[in-house]
Amino acid sequence: MHIQIVENRAGLEQGVRLLFLPEGRELEAEWPGLTGAQGFSGKAGRVRLVAGSRGMALAVGLGDAEKLDMDCFRAAVGTAMRTAASQEIETLSVDGEQIASLPLEGDPLAELSIAATLAAYRFVAFKSEPGEEDCPASLLLWSPEQDLPGRVDKALAVASGVRLARDLVNTPANAATPEDLARTARELGAEFGFKVDVFGPREIEDMGMGCFASVFRGSDTPARFIVLDSDPEDSRPPLVFAGKGVTFDTGGISLKPSAKMHEMKGDMAGAAAILGLFKAMGLAGRRGRRVVGLLPCTENVPGSRATKPGDVVTAMNGKTVEILNTDAEGRLILADALCYAARFQPEILVDLATLTGACLIALGTKVAAVFSTTEELDLRIREGGSRTGERFWPMPLWVEYGKPLKSDVADLKNIAAREGGTIFAALFLKSFVPAGVDWAHLDIAGPAWTDEDASIFRPGGTGFGVRTLWELIGFYED
């Protein structure tokens, strides 16, 4: 779908006017002269296509005005896109002054641009016959605000980053190998001037990343450790983001059940989010703060050389780990990535990963968990996420939860009790965070994937995390 800003309100007449109405607001008052406008309730999810002397209009309900927020607005935009497609509407148009009259905080027109772009998303890369687009071909915007083009361009850059993350998560594991992710990183580097370093299995082992190496030993598909740097010449402490990149997770020797194992192609959603972030930064020309992305990428499969339960390995910081469950592999590859981050002396260090099934049990599929060593970082992540529809719930890092992670034969073991598994995983990672660095761990196991076909989502990867990281950068820019 193409989003275009028209020069004047008359340009909107080329499309069907899109009107968003909360309950209690009269449709006819919004656009006088419409036929069949009477009685439109404005309830969430309700739509009506009406005509008048000034053209056609598509009315979309927002629900109770007192409860209206950006989440409701995004859902309404998704409803509008799907309805327009079902009515074979080629072009929609939006009057910025009508949107500005809604009781919404933030930048509704920019959010509309993002939501419409994401609602139009389809993954058809492997379809021999992709079929017709099920969204309008174009969306026209007008507003008297002079800075609208820049705001929309930035919004579309963010949406493109989210779409890239969705594409990577949805791509089958045989076409999204660690090297494929490295290729994506190199392409971003070439297009936008980022520095990109890619390390192979031998180099990973030579750096002393024994935890990371323990995961990739069973696979014939070579692992990659990808480092992206937005501005290596910037001498200030960077913001460092580490993303789990397990391109397919069978569980290794601790084999997973076969049901829904195909979804484990999405176990690299953390790495995908960071790649999506870098694409958004590149498209928007965002250079206000140096950002470093660390992506440990590998398969986790059984094989004759695979790590066995009970094996002991040594991490990059010298700590030894007894591996009791090879399906707790994400924390192992992230452990070495967190150690590697020390060389950058980061201002903050944030990792994100589809780390634990226990997080799904605790919080469901709509919310991610956030663990943080500082209240400030925790609040910034949650505030930024809330603005973009990516929700986080704070979880504890209490000292007593670390005791069950002590091993009889090594410094640590990679699992503890089943109860509280998400907390144990976070505390395991905390053991590898460089001293004195503000750190947060985001367990995105629930919202990184959806089975729903509603609002701005399609079944598959959601691109969760891209927008939260984008907002987080904003807190640290000059």
Q: pLDDT for 279-318, tens place per residue?
A: 999 999 998 899 999 999 999 999 999 999 999 999 999 9
- Is residue 249 part of an annotated ligand binding site? yes
pLDDT band at 131 (very low <50, low <70, confident <90, very high): confident
Contact yes or no for 75/66 (Cβ under 8 A): no
pLDDT digits (tens, 9 = 90+) for 384-407: 999 999 999 999 999 999 999 999
pLDDT digits (tens, 9 = 90+) for 77-104: 999 999 999 999 999 999 999 999 999 9
Q: Which residues of 424-461 are buried (b: 16+ CB within 10 A; e: fewer)?
A: bbbbbbbbbbbeebbbbbbbbbbbbbbeeeebbbbebb
Is 133's pLDDT higher than 90?
A: no
Rounded Cα distance between 89 and 86, Å, is 8
Query: Catalytic: 331?
Result: yes
Give the 3-state secondary structure of residue 267. coil
Structure confidence at residue 111 (pLDDT):
98
Which uninterrupted H or E stretch holds 155? helix 148-170
Structure confidence at residue 130 (pLDDT):
86
- Is residue 267 part of an annotated ligand binding site? yes
- Among 9, 186, 256, 319, which one carries the catalytic annotation? 256
- Among 331, 382, 391, 467, which one carries the catalytic annotation? 331
Residue 29 neighbours by CB under 8 Å, 6+ apart:
none
How many degrees, rounded to 5, is the angle at CA 272 between CA 269 and CA 275? 160
Structure confidence at residue 134 (pLDDT):
78
Structure confidence at residue 73 (pLDDT):
98
pLDDT digits (tens, 9 = 90+) for 334-389: 999 999 999 999 999 999 999 999 999 999 999 999 999 999 999 999 999 999 99
Within its chain, how far is the Cα of 276 from the centroid?
A: 8
- Is residue 265 part of an annotated ligand binding site? no
Structure confidence at residue 132 (pLDDT):
80
By CB neighbour count within 10 A (0-12 exposed, 13-18 middle, 19+ buried), where does 109 fall?
A: buried
Q: Which residues of 20-41 are buried (b: 16+ CB within 10 A; e: fewer)?
A: bbbbebebbebbeebeebeebe
- Is residue 329 part of an annotated ligand binding site? yes
pLDDT digits (tens, 9 = 90+) for 233-259: 999 999 999 999 999 999 999 999 999
Structure confidence at residue 54 (pLDDT):
85
Is 37's pLDDT higher than 70?
A: yes
pLDDT digits (tens, 9 = 90+) for 162-179: 999 999 999 999 999 999
Give the chain's domains with CATH numbers.
2-136 (3.40.220.10), 157-475 (3.40.630.10)
Is 460's pLDDT higher than 70?
A: yes
* Phi, psi of 410, deg, nearest 5: -145, -175
The count of C-alpha atoms lying within 13 angstroms of the C-alpha of 95, restricted to the half-sphere facing its C-beta, is: 17
Is 478's pLDDT higher than 80?
A: no
Q: What is the DSSP string of 27-61?
A: HHHHSTTEET-TT----TT-EEEEEETTEEEEEEE
Is 35's pLDDT higher than 70?
A: yes
Place of tokens 């180099």: 203
pLDDT digits (tens, 9 = 90+) for 39-74: 999 999 999 999 988 899 999 999 999 999 999 999
Query: Catalytic: 256?
Result: yes
In the predicted model, what is the mean pLDDT of the chain?
Answer: 96
